[in-house]
Structure 1
């Protein structure tokens, strides 16, 4: 088995022994020249067509320094490993490509096999990386099929780990057509990288900007392996965010949050202005930019209409009568506009209620929470106006006000509005506040509108269920307590004293788990041996369930990072069906 990694060929000297075929040689030279290899040295076998090889090498001589060595005695080939390299590495070749005849390619001889063994032994002994065509057992690296955006350098590849190269090629084709091209990944990458570079330029003009910020939020110039994701959603004080001096930091945090949570199609049109202005975040701009995309939008809406038609058959007769009556009402009659606070459940489309789907389809304007997964947002036709909250831990109040302003603007225009919320509107979703605020605005401005509530499945109840945690169970737990990890003004709420027979569920607590654990253990004297389970992205394809103990919770979150939204479940019910195995933590990925 191998490990996928990124290789830097810049400035290296590569030695290729045998060329296999003109097509193979051409592809390798193209790749190595793009990767800025300084020198490419080729030693072809005697039986290969030298005229074609020489012509090919001349064609690429402007792109890469090429040396052709015609060797009659291959027994001496190992000497070149230590003579043709760079001066700074004592003339040792940086990498070796071996393409000598084998049983697979034919023309294999005892002499060639012995030469290959000598090369393998010398490379292994001197730690020279080697890639041997059709001999994976002796290879220490090889190239894999990839999709690459040339403007940004971002690349996606697949390794089958010796289980058949055709499998990887097929998977890559499927990904390219059904994911990469379908979601306009090239536009997404080029826009996001451009925004990051613009912010980087602003950063270089201000010496007061904290260099640690980009590491914390994942915009640092390195791949994910070197990033500690546990601080991605670290809480930031509201007064700090409102400081104009911190506009760069706010914009950086918004960009990071958008990359992590927003639907891919919306990220094609985000601008620097969107990042620097508090109230600009309309996701509908330029989403439908040409005829083909418009046709796709209409097709999607028609498909959703078909889905809703099937759903409507399951609705009650009274509901169906209302729908039919509304459809026959003359267009000249002005209808009462509505604001529907809609619970979208934990994130899985399968847990979205029929009422919620109907509300989404009939809305003119949809105002969505940041953490609404793309799976749910994907059923919104592109013709609908969509606005996604600009939230990160610490700026919830200002982002909430922006949503309220958008909602009021929509009411003034007589729009049907859906306020799409994670989970259930009335379970730590500010639904009660919005209900009062919107009704007050409607009454004050004498608008013909009403506010409706559509319930959703809360992750506080779904999370434990999908993690095999019975919240109540005889002789284990006789009480359920649902709490928040983020109180008013960023302060922790007042928690109760410890009770062993209780199942305690914390929403919005992962980003400040250190404060939470400290308060529970040191102030409220909770037993630090209490079983704990973190359920992230409950009921979604990328669900993650992590079990540990209260005393280890902070350490574990630092190790595994966070994957919001997540709930923390504590109490003996955590291990009622899944016994503790004594390890620091256990993880179960996926549904």
Structure 2
């Protein structure tokens, strides 16, 4: 099972190496290079470096608690065993004793006796990455590490240094501004938490010497700094990052800081408020793998995100920490008021000069009120940008291995809603044998819909499929016919959001066997949802899991 990958500072830590195989020398030199103090125990005729302590005798259990640093009661910091498998009884004893003493141990060629394994690493300055196969194959890990290193910029170490310098400079600039605010407040006894931040999670420490009145002031600076630096790292070409001018970027940051202040402070005769903007963004069918680059860019750069409750957590998890997110609670009977609240919050954000992203599942204009929202914001002076999304109406059939069109089977596709204004059934289309019809927002009243289709003259023997949470890991497909649809759906229960696909195209690739009334398939299938790193290798696909077949 994969373990927790960490990068440890082992400077001046005592590493005990037990055994004198050729691997011993490799381990000792690597540890020495990383600043550790390796000690080798065992008989050998040659030690590669005079800086490595060697004890020429067999190992004793007491060595674990006698050869370490005095500040940790002489317990060694970690243990490496390089003995051959012929010493398996001794190795097991050492492993069990280390586990009892909570000493990390690595045993060569015995991953089951290890509490940690070593990665095949690539290092360039402060940049380092490692590859682990959890002890399954060192040569494979080495090859993968070489393949990955070949696609890195040749100056990746310089890039890390430059980004680190920029991060530190921006932090220092914000501290200077904060101290000015503190001095101007004449000793008001309020404090704020400040500190260096991880790019993924704001972590802060309290500096009691810095005092400000408004507890949000520096927090706002932190959020702006993280967002600004993240955009530089994300969108600046990697090949150019090592040569960027810290001074020039710092000046640009200060300009953006001034603009940020201008948009938040009350307008005056000499103040120009930055005008906000809004984008209507389609988040796709469900999986974050199917976001467009335009959608991802909007998510990463927004000041305020307004999302539908059906936007999955996998997509929302991409929102940077510190970005305000409001999720509409469009529960039955509350949809209209929830929509009004979204519009009000979006308009308020635009008036405050923010970049507002209205994140909508699927495509903004396919039964998503996108045009209504466009007209609303346009009426109030903010014309939205619109980024399309992959609609589930087309993605879900593909996920279920249903070709929406197929020669001599289906020559047209119709996308309908199953819910009209105020919850009533919409106008039901006529039955067309060569059409694939997709019903969105119809599963909550599937019985009424089937009855209406029958009244309209539809052939109830036509194959159909309910596809729920398309492209997500918990995707589910119910394959059946219209006449058995209600019974099949009731037996499975609801897993929204979902849609209904009808038409003979449902039988082109997947067919029910003789005697099957319906089939339930669990798990994402039919879509390429993960991609390999190496060019030219086939993609990895998720296939359907358990199948339940009632007779």
Tell me which of the two structures has the higher relative contact order, counting C-alpha pairs closer than 8 angstroms and 6 or more residues apart. 1
The structure that is helix-richer by fraction is 1
